[in-house]
């Protein structure tokens, strides 16, 4: 019967046809034999796709990974996490400081004096026998030049919003008749300059300067706002740190256009352009102006002391000739869009980036891969790999499978997967500390967390080492404070809290909490009771939640727990400061600027110091760290700040997790020695744990090489 | 007939309107913000978040946002918030990728279920029928993602060939037949997985339909007349049992979009389901709403086609 035959033969044929395709697919071993080019390709697997390949617009990690290969910044971090020049050959940081002549104040033993006498006084002080105060001595020696700026008049117009009510901002005119001003050029940035000078000019010299009388504002505005405007227009003292970058000559963008100082200026302007909605705007807000001195020299002047500023220039530089107003207008017209509304965000450049980094962008298939090719004219010498594939594989298990099948050279390997692969002779594995930590934060506005003894006791009751061992499979380390552990800002002498439930009970007793007959801790008839919350979707945090709850219950604390969806967690609880204790993590940059997280001014709703940590000494240090440009001095401040935070325990600092990586052993570092002989070396991570640091010298060999000293 | 089509279309347009309103509301009333407006990124000042919201019209009342969105959709101007790409272009690209999975999966489902189901019905109660029943229920109850993982692990660790994605990576530029075969190999597992559930369910349907028809009087009459057994099964019974399946054909249309979120994510297949899923995670409303709208249209078109088909194959039906 034909129908019956058809019903059986058709599916059988389809299945046979589908199955036979197996014989055409190469296995792991056949891949590099069948296609020797495969050895020159590096394929890495990522969970998520990039969004915008434009360093000033993107904020996600996938995009920045690609951007780092396509674009080049002026500087970056070297093996020791210190800055080194990239597009900038060298740089110099100095300071220009200003202050207005205060005709109200009287200078000690001289009375009221004019600008000329002030200059004379300073020059004399400089030449005099060094003063006993070392800070004053350093400040004076640091002054290179003193210039008198004559009095001048200027007019500022700006838009001012009225009160908090929305509505049209109104234009105000500020007429300033500024008194003479003194400009000091310093060899190095000195945040204590004016403190030192006030020892010479009198304690009150800068403080009593009153700008009000030099300013006329039309129309009148309310006095509070007025004094703010005056403060801005006529600041008594001003620090203007200056960075001068010497750029590398003969560097070209991938399209052959030479790179120069105008590109740097353009990149800065693009970030500041409100039309572009750059998420990096706040990094560059302290910049006063960027000037091109000559095509290979840029001068950047800052409005105020802001030491994290240098690090911001690690950002990729955009090619001006492709993105300036003219180019964008042309593109808008070509694609039939309104040129007035068209911004860099809409440009096709974001999907076809051009920079001057080691790899040239070739192709991007959304949710499939991004392909880069080696840039042969890269200024530091081209990388060894000729192609770089960034594959998007959303599932961690299938990433591992692709790795086994040889169609991915690297992937985000999980701790338990590393355990499996460690024994395998085919692979080499790496691990290192990541830049971030997990913590339990306490709402210090609430009882009982306003008592540091209670916070300490809570920390002591949790066995963090066990958490690391069982929850993280050993892939973590304890951390005691808010700095990146592998930098020298981190104070290594601070010991983590010991696991000591008895000691915790003693501390709680000191704080007035005693066990009642039922075993619960009580104070004035009230039970020690609170809710610990975290967000859903993070298994590690969920596990910690249970561990902490159990540990605290054992010493008699009645802990409730709650797991909330991320958006609810952030918007309803964290932002509105409605929580007792929570488990969260921070990922950090290398810069030790803790202003947003720990300064007392950041404790309001929707700000990041949501635990409400307020400590005067800490505030002072946070500001000093922000303003200090000298690395060693900064380290000293950081160590003190770390101590304070560790003593106060606003968080129970839990751990910093380790990242892990696995590579085929055939991937090695290829170098040429002085005689032109090629040598292969094993990939070794840098001191700070970055194994990708020498990526440009990696290559894959057909066979696993034997290294000397290794059998 | 014409009046039916007209009446039906009007009904469907009204339904579509309500679907568009409800899906719009569901998305916008759910907590969370588009990932580009991530409020916990310390680098984002409140003013910037505000500006983003303005750019996306998020500061407007919902009714206005609704009008903006559908105006853009119908003029083809919607762009994804994530990467500023035109939504329709993205959807079309993904649709082409999903189409292959859908075609092979449907082919497997529809060609395999019939022989399996028919045999079960003919030899009902026998060992074949029992084991077919067992496996059907096993495949229906086994979670798709779990089954996918098991299959992937077995294939990769025993055969050492890649199975993820649409093609083998790093293949260079092979001759065209190798390229085609490679693609087919990569289609095999995901489409098979997509088909398993369908095969299990559909073969059950076929079995019960066949059994119902076989117990009809005219089948008994045919047997009594001495018609050969095979002819009874395949000519008399099967033809009549096929009727309900004709209508199911229209209903598989929406599967073009919705059916493959999990499989596509596991296999890193750049299809529609995965795009929609990732858009939901990133709160990329234009993509989510467009996909939603298109699938609503497909469901309505599918039911319409079913109705019409039924009328065509079964002259007893009058609409």
How many residues appear in chain B?
Answer: 319
Question: Mean pLDDT across chain A, nearest whole number?
Answer: 87
Task: Give the model's pLDDT for residue A710.
Answer: 45
User: Do B184 and A18 count as a contact with CB atoms less than 8 A apart?
Assistant: yes
Is-contact B319 B307, C-beta < 8 A? yes
A412 within 8 A of A46, measured Cβ to Cβ: yes
**Is A681 an 8 Å CB contact of chain B?**
no
* pLDDT band per the 50, 70, 90 thresholds, residue A241: very high
Q: Residues A569, A622: one domain?
A: yes
**What's the number of domains chain A is made of?**
3
Task: Give me the mean pLDDT over the B75-83 stretch.
Answer: 79
Q: Is the pLDDT reported for residue B293 higher than 70?
A: yes
User: Computed from CA positions of residues A333, A337, A339, A343, in that sequence, does the dihedral angle turn out positive or negative?
Assistant: negative
Q: Are residues A108 and A155 in the same domain?
A: yes
Does residue A3 lie within any of the structural domains? no
The answer to whether A604 contacts chain B (CB < 8 Å) is no
pLDDT at residue A621, rounded to an integer:
94
Mapped onto helix, strand or coil, the DSSP state of residue A372 is strand
CA-based nearest distance A441→chain B, Å? 16
pLDDT average, residue stretch B168-191? 84
Q: Which of A399, A401, A602 to mutate to test the interface with B (most CBs of B within 10 A)?
A: A401
Tell me which H or E stretch contains A477.
Answer: strand A476-478
Task: Answer yes or no: do A362 and A465 share one domain.
Answer: no
Residues of B in contact with A335 (CB under 8 A): none
Q: Are A571 and A610 in contact (CB under 8 A)?
A: no
Q: Which two tokens stand for residue A493?
A: 């002498």
Whether the CB of A401 is below 8 Å from some CB of chain B: the reply is: yes
Q: What's the CA gap between A98 and A185, in Å, rounded?
A: 9
pLDDT in tens, A228-238: 888 888 888 99
pLDDT of B254 higher than 90: no
Mean predicted confidence (pLDDT) in A486-507:
91
Q: Tell me how far apart the alpha carbons of residues B130 and A618 are, in angstroms, rounded to a whole number.
A: 75
A305 occurs within a structural domain: no
Q: Bigger pLDDT: B240 or A544?
A: A544
A520 inside domain: yes
Average of per-residue pLDDT across A358-379: 90
Q: Which of residues 160-179 of B touch A (CB under 8 A)?
A: 160-166, 168-172, 174, 177-178
Q: Note whether A642 and A491 are within 8 A (CB).
A: yes
Cβ-nearest to A8 among B107, B115, B172: B115
pLDDT band at A252 (very low <50, low <70, confident <90, very high): very high
Share of residues in chain A with pLDDT > 70 (%): 97
Q: Is the dihedral of CA B130, B135, B136, B138 positive or negative?
A: positive
**A621 within some domain:** yes
Among A260-269, B71-80, B146-155, B224-233, whose mean pLDDT is lowest? B71-80
> What percent of the residues of chain A are helix, what percent strand, and what percent coil, each to the nearest 5?
35, 25, 40
Q: pLDDT at residue A71 above 90?
A: yes
Partner B contacted by A59 (CB < 8 A): yes
pLDDT reported for residue A162: 59
Comparing CA positions, the residue from A191, A280, A175 lying closest to residue A239 is A191
If you measure CA to CA, which chain B residue comes closest to A609? B42
Q: Which residue of A has its CA nearest to B146?
A: A397
B40 chain-A contacts, CB cut-off 8 A: 570, 574
pLDDT tens column, A423-435: 788 888 888 888 8
Chain B contact for A365 (CB, 8 A cutoff): yes
CB-based contact A198:A160 (threshold 8 Å): no
- State what percent of residues in chain B have pLDDT above 70: 92
In the structure encoding, which two tokens stand for residue A509, read together? 């007793």
Cβ-nearest to A394 among B33, B231, B265? B265
pLDDT tops 60 at residue B43: no
Average pLDDT over residues B243-252: 77
Co-location of A361 and A467 in the same domain: no
CB contact under 8 A, B46 and A18: no
Residues A125-154, mean pLDDT to the nearest whole number = 82
Residue A30: give the domain boundaries.
Answer: 25-73+356-433+663-700
Going by their DSSP bridges, the two strands A170-178 and A215-218 should be labelled as antiparallel
CA A166 to the chain's CA centroid: 34
Residues of B in contact with A405 (CB under 8 A): 156, 160-164
Q: How far apart are CA B45 and CA B42, in angstroms?
A: 7
Distance, CA of A427 to CA of A449 (rounded, Å): 48
Transcribe A554-571 into DSSP letters: HTT-EEEEEEE-HHHIII
Asked if B156 contacts B148 with a C-beta cutoff of 8 angstroms, the reply is no
Measure in Å the smallest separation between the Cα of B216 and chain A Cα atoms.
21
A12 touching B, CB under 8 A? no
pLDDT at A244: 94
Assess whether A547 and A577 both reside in one domain: yes
Per mean pLDDT, which range of A35-49, A166-180, A317-331 is the poorest?
A: A166-180
Provide the pLDDT confidence category of residue A711 given band limits of 50, 70 and 90: very low
Size of interface A-B (CB pairs under 8 A): 195
Contact at CB, B161 and A14, closer than 8 angstroms? no
Asked which of A153-167, A287-301, A677-691 is least confident by mean pLDDT, the reply is: A153-167
Max intra-chain CA distance, chain B: 86
Average pLDDT over residues B38-64: 71
Does B162 contact A25 at a Cβ distance shorter than 8 Å?
A: yes
* A39, A32 Cβ separation under 8 angstroms: yes
Answer yes or no: are the C-beta atoms of A192 and A139 closer than 8 Å.
yes
- A407 touches B: beta carbon within 8 Å: yes
pLDDT at A433: 87
Does A166 lie at the interface with B, CB-CB under 8 angstroms? no
pLDDT at residue B318, as a whole number: 66
Note whether B170 contacts A566, CB cutoff 8 Å.
no
Average pLDDT of span B218-231:
88
Q: Let me know if residue A174 belongs to a domain.
A: yes
ipTM: 0.83
The DSSP secondary structure of A385-422, one letter per residue, reads: -SEEEEEE---HHHHHHHHHHTS-SB----HHHHHHHH
* Coil/strand/helix, residue A25: coil
A412 touches B: beta carbon within 8 Å: no
User: Which has the closest alpha carbon to B100: B184, B193, B207?
Assistant: B184
Model pLDDT for residues B128-151, shown as the tens digit of each residue: 999 999 999 998 898 888 898 999
Give the H/E segment covering residue A132.
none
Among A215, A242, A269, the domain boundary falls at A242
Tell me the CATH number at A675: 3.40.190.10
Residues A471 and A617 in one domain: yes
Establish if A113 belongs to a structural domain.
Answer: yes
Q: Give φ, ψ of B282 to 5 degrees.
A: -90, 5
Higher pLDDT, A457 or B307: A457
CA distance A600 to A615: 7
Report yes or no: A229 and A218 within 8 Å, Cβ to Cβ: no
On whether both A396 and A371 belong to a single domain, the answer is yes
Give the chain A residue whose CA is nearest to the CA of B112.
A11
CA distances from A462 to A29, A74, A498, A657 (A): 49, 45, 9, 17
Distance from C-alpha of A37 to C-alpha of B319, rounded to nearest angstrom = 64
Q: Compute how many other C-beta atoms are within 10 angstroms of the C-beta atom of residue A304.
A: 14
- What counts of helices (H) and strands (E) characterise chain B? 15, 0
Report the alpha-carbon distance of residue B186 to residue B176 in Å, rounded: 15
Evaluate if residue A486 carries a pLDDT over 50.
yes
Residues of B in contact with A31 (CB under 8 A): 168, 170-171
Nearest CA in chain B to A27: B161
Mean pLDDT of B251-264: 74
Judgement on whether residues A145 and A30 belong to the same structural domain of the protein: no
Asked if pLDDT for residue B45 goes beyond 80, the answer is no
The pLDDT of residue A393: 87
Q: Do A18 and B107 touch (CB under 8 A)?
A: no
CATH number at residue A542: 3.10.105.10
Asked if pLDDT for residue B273 goes beyond 90, the answer is: no
**B26 and B283 Cβ atoms separated by less than 8 Å:** no
What's the rounded Cα separation, in Å, for the pair B25 and A486? Answer: 48
- Rounded Cα–Cα distance for residues A700 and A32 (Å): 10
CB contact B45 to A (< 8 Å): yes
Residue A710 lies in a domain: no
Tell me whether B265 touches chain A (CB under 8 Å).
yes
Closest approach of A116 to chain B, Cα-based (Å): 44
Which residues of B, range 80-139, sit inside 8 Å of A by Cβ?
Answer: 82-85, 90, 93, 104, 107-108, 111-112, 114-115, 118
Residues A440, A412 share a domain: no
- Within this chain, do residues A636 and A610 fall inside the same structural domain, yes or no? yes
Which conformational region is residue A472 in: left (phi greater than 0), alpha (psi within -120 to 50 degrees), or beta? alpha
Task: Let me know if residue A637 belongs to a domain.
Answer: yes
Q: CA gyration radius for chain B?
A: 24
Last residue within a domain, chosen from A220, A242, A264: A242
Give the pLDDT band of residue B231 (cuts 50, 70, 90).
confident
Please report the pLDDT score of residue B261 as a whole number: 81
- Among A11, A38, A393, whose Cβ lies nearest the Cβ of B170? A38
Closest CA to A358 of A245, A252, A247: A252
All residues of chain A having their beta carbon less than 8 Å from the beta carbon of residue B162 are: 25, 401-402, 405-407
A1 touches chain B (CB under 8 A): yes
What are the C-alpha distances in Å from A638 to residues A486, A603, A633? 14, 21, 9
Using only C-alpha atoms, chain A has a radius of gyration, in whole angstroms, of 31
Q: Are residues A652 and A685 in the same domain?
A: no
Q: Distance (Å, rounded) from C-alpha A484 to C-alpha A268?
A: 28
pTM of the entire predicted model: 0.83
Same structural domain for residues A516 and A622?
yes
């Amino acid at each position: 019967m034909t129908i019956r035959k058809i019903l059986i033969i058709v599916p059988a044929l389809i299945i046979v046809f589908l199955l036979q395709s197996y014989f055409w697919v190469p296995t792991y071993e056949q891949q590099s034999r069948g296609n020797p080019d495969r050895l020159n390709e590096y394929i890495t697997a990522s969970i998520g796709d990039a969004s915008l390949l434009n360093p000033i617009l993107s904020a996600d990690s996938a995009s920045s990974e690609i951007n780092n290969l396509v674009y080049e910044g002026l500087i970056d971090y070297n093996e020791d996490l210190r800055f080194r020049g990239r597009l900038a050959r060298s740089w110099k940081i100095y300071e220009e400081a200003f202050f207005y002549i205060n005709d109200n104040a009287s200078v000690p033993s001289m009375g009221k004096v004019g600008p000329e006498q002030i200059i004379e006084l300073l020059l004399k002080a400089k030449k005099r026998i060094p003063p006993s105060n070392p800070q004053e001595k350093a400040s004076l020696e640091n002054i290179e030049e003193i210039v008198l700026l004559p009095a001048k008049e200027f007019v500022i117009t700006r838009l001012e919003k009225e009160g908090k009510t929305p509505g049209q901002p109104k234009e105000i005119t500020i007429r300033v008749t500024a008194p003479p001003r003194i400009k000091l050029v310093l060899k190095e940035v000195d945040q204590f300059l004016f403190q030192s000078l006030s020892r010479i000019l009198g304690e009150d010299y800068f403080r009593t300067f009153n700008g009000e009388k030099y300013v006329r504002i039309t129309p009148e505005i309310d006095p509070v706002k007025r004094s703010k405007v005056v403060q801005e227009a006529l600041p008594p003292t001003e620090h203007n740190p200056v960075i001068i970058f010497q750029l590398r000559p003969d560097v070209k963008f991938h399209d052959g256009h030479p790179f120069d100082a105008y590109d740097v200026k353009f990149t800065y302007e693009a970030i500041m352009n409100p039309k572009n909605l750059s998420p990096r705007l706040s990094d560059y807000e302290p910049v006063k102006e960027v000037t091109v001195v000559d095509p290979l020299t840029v001068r950047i002047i800052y409005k105020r002391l802001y030491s994290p500023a240098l690090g911001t220039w690690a950002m990729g530089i955009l090619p001006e000739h492709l993105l300036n107003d003219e180019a964008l207008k042309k593109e808008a017209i070509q694609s039939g869009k309104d040129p007035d509304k068209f911004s860099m965000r809409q440009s096709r450049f974001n999907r076809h980036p051009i920079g001057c980094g080691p790899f040239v962008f070739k192709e991007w298939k959304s949710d499939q891969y991004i392909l880069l090719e080696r840039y042969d004219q890269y200024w530091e010498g081209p990388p060894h790999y000729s192609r770089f594939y960034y594959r998007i594989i959303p599932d961690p298990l299938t990433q591992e499978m692709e790795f086994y099948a040889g169609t991915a050279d690297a992937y985000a390997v999980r701790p338990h997967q590393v355990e499996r692969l460690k024994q395998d002779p085919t692979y080499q594995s790496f691990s290192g500390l990541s830049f971030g930590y997990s913590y339990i934060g306490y709402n210090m506005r609430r009882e009982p967390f306003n008592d540091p003894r209670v916070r300490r006791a809570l920390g002591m009751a949790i066995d963090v080492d066990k958490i690391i061992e069982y929850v993280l499979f050993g892939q973590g380390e304890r951390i005691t404070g808010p700095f990146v552990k592998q930098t020298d800002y981190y104070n290594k002498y601070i010991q983590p809290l010991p696991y000591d439930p008895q000691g915790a009970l003693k501390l709680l007793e000191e704080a007035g909490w005693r066990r009642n007959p039922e075993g619960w801790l009580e104070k004035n008839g009230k039970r020690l009771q609170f809710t610990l919350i975290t967000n859903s979707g993070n298994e590690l945090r969920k596990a910690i939640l249970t561990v902490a709850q159990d540990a605290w219950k054992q010493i008699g604390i009645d802990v409730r727990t709650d797991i909330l969806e991320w958006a609810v967690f952030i918007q309803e609880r964290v932002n509105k400061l409605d929580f007792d204790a929570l488990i969260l993590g921070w990922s950090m940059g290398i810069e030790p600027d803790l202003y947003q997280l720990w300064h007392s001014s950041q404790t309001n709703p929707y700000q990041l110091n949501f635990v409400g940590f307020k400590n005067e000494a800490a505030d002072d240090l946070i500001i000093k760290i922000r303003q200090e440009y000298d690395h060693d001095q900064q380290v000293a401040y950081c160590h003190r700040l770390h101590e304070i935070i560790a003593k106060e325990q606003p968080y129970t600092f839990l751990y910093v997790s380790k990242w892990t990586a696995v590579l085929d052993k055939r991937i090695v570092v290829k170098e040429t020695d002085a005689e032109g002989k090629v040598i292969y070396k094993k990939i070794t991570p840098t001191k700070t744990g970055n194994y990708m640091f020498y990526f440009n010298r990696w290559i894959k060999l057909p066979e696993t090489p034997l290294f000397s000293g290794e059998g | 007939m014409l009046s039916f089509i007209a009446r039906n279309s009007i009904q469907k347009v009204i339904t579509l309107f309500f679907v568009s309103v409800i899906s719009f509301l569901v998305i916008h009333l759910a907590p969370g913000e588009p990932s580009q407006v991530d409020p916990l990124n310390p680098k984002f000042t409140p003013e910037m978040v505000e500006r983003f919201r303005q750019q996306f019209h998020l500061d407007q009342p919902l009714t206005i946002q609704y009008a903006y969105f559908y105006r853009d959709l119908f003029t083809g101007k919607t762009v994804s918030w994530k990467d500023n790409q035109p939504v329709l272009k993205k959807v079309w690209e993904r649709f082409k990728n999903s189409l292959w999975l859908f075609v092979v999966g449907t082919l497997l489902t529809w060609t395999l279920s019939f022989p399996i189901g028919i045999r079960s019905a003919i030899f009902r109660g026998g060992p074949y029928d029992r084991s077919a029943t067992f496996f059907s229920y096993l495949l229906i109850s086994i979670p798709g993602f779990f089954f996918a993982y098991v299959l992937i692990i077995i294939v990769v660790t025993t055969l050492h060939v890649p199975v993820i994605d649409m093609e083998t990576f790093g293949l260079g530029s092979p001759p065209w037949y190798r390229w085609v075969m490679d693609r087919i190999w990569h289609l095999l597992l995901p489409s098979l997985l997509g088909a398993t559930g369908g095969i299990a369910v559909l073969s059950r349907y076929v079995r019960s339909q066949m059994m119902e028809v076989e117990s009809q009087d005219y089948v008994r009459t045919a047997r009594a007349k001495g018609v050969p057994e095979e002819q009874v099964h395949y000519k008399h019974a099967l033809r009549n049992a096929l009727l309900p399946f004709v209508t199911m054909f229209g209903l598989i249309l929406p599967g073009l979009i919705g059916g493959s979120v999990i499989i596509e994510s596991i296999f890193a297949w750049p299809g529609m389901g995965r795009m929609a899923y990732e858009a939901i995670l990133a709160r990329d409303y234009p993509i989510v709403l467009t996909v939603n709208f298109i699938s609503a249209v497909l469901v309505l078109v599918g039911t319409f086609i079913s109705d019409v088909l039924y009328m065509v194959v079964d002259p007893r039906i009058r609409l």
